[in-house]
Amino acid sequence: MTRDWDFNIEERDAEFRDDLREASGVGRRRRKKGRQAGPTLSQQVRSLIGDGNQAYVDSDLPEAIRIMQEVIRIEPRAASAWSVLAQCYADMGEHQKALQLRIMAAHLRHDADEWDRLARQSREHGYNQQALYCYRKVYSLDPTNVDALWDRASLAKETGDLKTARNAFLAILKRFPHDLTVLGELRPILIELSDLSICANLFQQAFNHYQRIYPSGRGMDAASNLEIVGGGFGLMEILVLADLFNTLGEHERAIDVIRRGCRWLQGRAEQVYWDACDDDREYDLPETGPRPGAGEDGSVEPGGFSLDINARHRLAVARIKLGEIEEGKLHANAVLSQDVLDYAPLFGEIADAYFEKELYAEAHPIYELLGADAATSSLYVLLQTAACLRMLNELKEAAEVYEHVRIADPSHNEAKMKLAEIYEILNEPRRALELVYEVIDSRKKRPKENSNQPEENTNASTSLFEEKATAKTKAALRAQGRLTHAQLRELEAQKEKEVMKGYRRVQDLWSGMLAGDEEAEREWMVEAEKLVETFRETRNLFLTSRGNPFRGMFPRTRVQKRHNDEEDEDRMASRLHLDMGHDTLAKKPAKGEDKAVDVFRGVSFSDWLRVFMQYCFILTRKGQYELADEILRHILVSNAYQARERQDCIRIALITCAIATQQPTVVVEQARKLITVHQFNNEPPRILMAALSSGLRPTDAFITSTLQKHLFREMKLADTAVKNPEVLRWNPLNKRYAPTAQAKTGDPGEAADDDDDADPSSTTTATEKDIKMSEIPTKHNPTLVAIYGQICIAAKSYQSAIFYLLHAYDYCPDDPMICLSLAIASIGRAMQRQSDNRHHLVVQAMAFLTQYRKLRESDLQGMAEVEYNFGRAFHQLGLYSHAVNHYERVLKLAEKATGEETTFAPEAAYNLSLIFVLTGATPLAEALYRRWLSI
């Protein structure tokens, strides 16, 4: 009662007087909250509206329409006139026009329910864009109307307007977070729009939400009042989230989702200790047996918990793509043990994962299994099978598979070109040329696209929106914002002036920068950075078909410009003619073809390269090696630098930067490319040996298995070139000699373990004029054999080292390095427990050291080196008295040295001090420290 009587008499009296003024029309009017119903109508307009209403009541529709149109002409904001006019057209049967008029009236009333009715009517008439607009107005007036949002999203999805559907579903998701029905509708839309990261985040948030509210992995369904797994977020949603992470390349997150999700659904969410295991022993199968080391030193034993085959498949794919091959194989084998007819898609995805990681030996049997049954086979499977066979050097089998594809689909030009490439490698140019001609003929017979097709008529001609964009409209939209050819030329001329100005400034500052002037270096780097970015941003310098040299920013084009694939076909046909002896046809240039240009914006490519290299050297010196490496690798794929000498120059620059920052893996990578390109040449291996310094990381890079296998293949190929040169054939694709398929006797899986040495930027894309056939060697080369033996020494495989080094000694007995390496390998083998002829090996080592002494002691530096190595050998054998004599001779020679030659005095003094300390002669060791090992 106190609240009911608690009011102010004065306030109530003021409100009463305002109400009187409002009723009488005198005095101040009170403003109503919200939108006004419409403008204040004049007496004339109100009279006309009354006449129009009377005409409508009298069924005089033409007169009512005339009067209402006059009202709208005078006052367009009169909503009642629009409504009456719409009703008149509806009574006359013109419902489309009536709908248009009602939409115009709805803009004046701002009623959400009316917009909803108009949206449904527009949808019934097929005006989808108009309906979407009406639903948008509903949402803007009433954000709580989720039904209108759902209708808008569903309609947009039906009409293919995926962006609108995405926005509508996301708006619903804001009001109902983590709703699985909305997520299920939204997922295919986001995938189609390539918004995978958004989709993954939404499902991840939902996963975390359901884990939080249902920690036991069980929840009640509100509709059926039954217990359901995960409260609705079940295994299917977990698999969807794992697939999204795998597609995004976030394989570790995919593994985490599968492991934690399946554990949660099994009611074991509290067993978080499984997350400490790097592997998936939690879900090991009983038949796989115990893992090595499981249960030892406190490690967790395998759990043996069940795992759905689909979830195991996601784990297999993630592990394989992550590079954890052995762990991935455990899951993959479990999936592959299932019936292929039931799980064919899973088999295919595992095979694709192996193929992506270049594990062709593992992918091939899976593709073969899929291709063996008509229910699971497809052209894609056959093409992948053929690709695996080709990568495994089983060229004849690959050719047979491509022939099957060709028979199954005679119009499959890609398979024909692949088959032609194989025939070319197999030295069957006629069969390859027939296939290329078939592809060219099918291309010429291909019907031209008719751009003058009549536009489709739609029944939505009276819609307020353009329901379907025509081809002309789309072309006009694409053309918006494009510069004309004259404008492009003017812009290019302006950029050329800027480049020339910047390059002149770089030249002026070059000498000061090299002299160490900090100000000059800073300004030089600023100008050089502008030039580098200008070059790298030019798309004409980085074309997809790198076989085409740079022809200028505005090359002359033919009337009918051919596609890159067509150019490749013609180029291959010309190359095959050349192999068959038709030189004149192959060398005939195409009409209207432009010549290559060696200048870009007034600066030659040689000068550009000089700027790039100096810029990257300074970046490396300033600690920005990653950026320098990226720039050099980027210009390595430019069309301007596909000539062999330029490729070599860039690779040597990459090696230089890697040496400065102690990146031995990059040194080995680039040196291998040089060895591959320059076949039967000793300089690239020498570059490799010179670039790798001593130390732990360089040694690890030197003995890596990929380098060993690469050098072993090169060594076998060089041996074949000397012994059986007739079995070698020049491969025009890789620009290298290779043995024919009949002559290959090595392990077929050997090359599959290694990465591909044929770099597309240096071997398969260089111009034909730039590539010359290498000369086949006529005598054995000790270089590669000696290097391979030294790799075996570094890997402590001394017996293999002796075998290969003895071959090198047979080829060149007068090389002191080979003799020294043989002595090192012999002593190393003698010190191993497996050795059964220690004394023989020691005597052999001394014999090679004696031969090494004869070949090396020609000068002071050579004598010091010989004495040090003798001392080192005796030191390793434990003959300290002999070692001391040789070390002291090194120190005496160092006393006599007068130049900058290496005397090995610090090394000898250090080793000698170790002997002195070991034998108790500490004062002698201290004297050595003060004389030779102090700064």
Do residues 845 and 823 lie in contact, with contact meaning Cβ atoms separated by under 8 Å?
yes
Dihedral class, residue 289 (left if φ above 0, else alpha if ψ from -120 to 50, else beta)? left
Q: Copy the structure tokens of residue 705.
A: 């298995």
Candidates 356, 411, 465, 360; CA nearest to 125 is 465
Tokens representing 935 are 């700064």
| Segments of the chain scoring below 50 in pLDDT | 1-5, 24, 26, 28-36, 297-298, 449-460, 469-474, 477, 557-562, 582-594, 742-756, 758-770
Q: How many CB atoms are located within 10 Å of the residue 721 CB?
A: 23
280: tokens are 């998936």
Question: What CA–CA distance (Å, rounded) separates 241 from 173?
Answer: 17
Return the HEC string of 279-306.
Answer: CCHHHCCHHHCCCCCCCHHHCCCCCCCC
Side chain identity at 834, as an amino acid letter? Q
CB 130 within 8 A of CB 465: yes
> 728: part of which helix (H) or strand (E)?
strand 728-731
**Amino acid present at 111:** D
Handedness of CA 187, 191, 195, 197 (dihedral sign): positive
Distance CA 851, CA 863 (A): 13
In this structure, the strands spanning 227-229 and 218-220 are antiparallel
| Per-residue confidence (pLDDT) for residue 554, from 0 to 100 | 63
Cβ neighbours of residue 910 closer than 8 Å, sequence gap 6 or more: 933
Q: Looking at residue 871, what is its pLDDT?
A: 93
Distance in angstroms (rounded) separating the CA atoms of residues 878 and 105: 107
**Do residues 229 and 265 touch, judged by C-beta distance below 8 A?**
yes
3-state per-residue secondary structure call for 16-57:
HHHHHHHHHCCCCCCCCCCCCCCCCCCHHHHHHHHHHHHHHH
| Predicted local distance difference test score (pLDDT) of residue 870 | 92
Q: CA-CA distance, 323 to 319, in Å (whole number)?
A: 6
Cβ(735)–Cβ(770) under 8 Å? no
What pLDDT is stored for residue 724 in this prediction?
85
φ, ψ of residue 737 to 5 degrees: the values are -80, 140
pLDDT above 70 coverage of the chain, percent: 80
Which tokens sit at 769?
């004029």
With residue 731 as reference, give the H or E element that holds it: strand 728-731
- What is the C-alpha R_g of the chain? 41
User: For residues 852 and 869, is the Cβ–Cβ distance under 8 A?
Assistant: yes
pLDDT at position 32, please? 42
Q: What does the pLDDT read at residue 909?
A: 92
Q: Which of 858, 862, 901, 867 is nearest to 887 (CA)?
A: 867
Q: Could you tell me if residue 623 is left (phi over 0), alpha (psi between -120 and 50 degrees) or otherwise beta? A: left
User: Three-class SS of residue 219?
Assistant: strand
pLDDT at residue 639, rounded to an integer: 82
Question: What Å distances lie between residue 667 and 652, 684, 706, CA to CA?
Answer: 9, 11, 13
Is residue 797 within 8 A of residue 742, CB to CB? The reply is: no
Nearest-angstrom CA–CA distance, 865 and 819: 14
Residue-wise pLDDT for 307-322, tens only, equals: 888 888 888 999 898 8
DSSP 541: G
DSSP assignments along 579-605, one per residue: HTT-HHHHHPPPTTPPPP--EETTEEH
Q: Where are the alpha helices (DSSP H) in 110-161?
A: 112-124, 128-141, 146-159
Nearest to 64 by CA among 78, 75, 54: 54
Per-residue pLDDT of 823-874, as tens digits, reads 999 999 999 888 888 899 999 999 999 999 988 877 777 888 899 999 999 9
Measure Cα distances from 475 to 12, 316, 471 in Å: 68, 46, 6
**What is the distance between the terminal CA atoms of the chain, rounded to a whole angstrom?**
102
Whole-angstrom distance, CA of residue 890 vs CA of residue 680: 39
Structure-derived torsion over alpha carbons of residues 299, 301, 302, 304, reported in degrees to the nearest 10: -150
- In eight-state DSSP terms, residue 218 is E
Residues in the chain: 935
CA distance 257 to 245: 9
3-state secondary structure of 228: strand
Beta-strand relationship, 728-731 and 218-220: unpaired
Q: Are 737 and 774 in contact (CB under 8 A)?
A: yes
- Residue ranges of the alpha helices (H) in 795-859? 798-811, 816-830, 838-856
HSE-up of 795 (CA within 13 Å, CB side)? 18
Q: What angle do CA 507, 513, 519 make, to 5 degrees?
A: 110
Which residues have CB under 8 Å from 443's CB, separation 6+? 413, 566, 569
- Helix, coil or strand: residue 739: strand
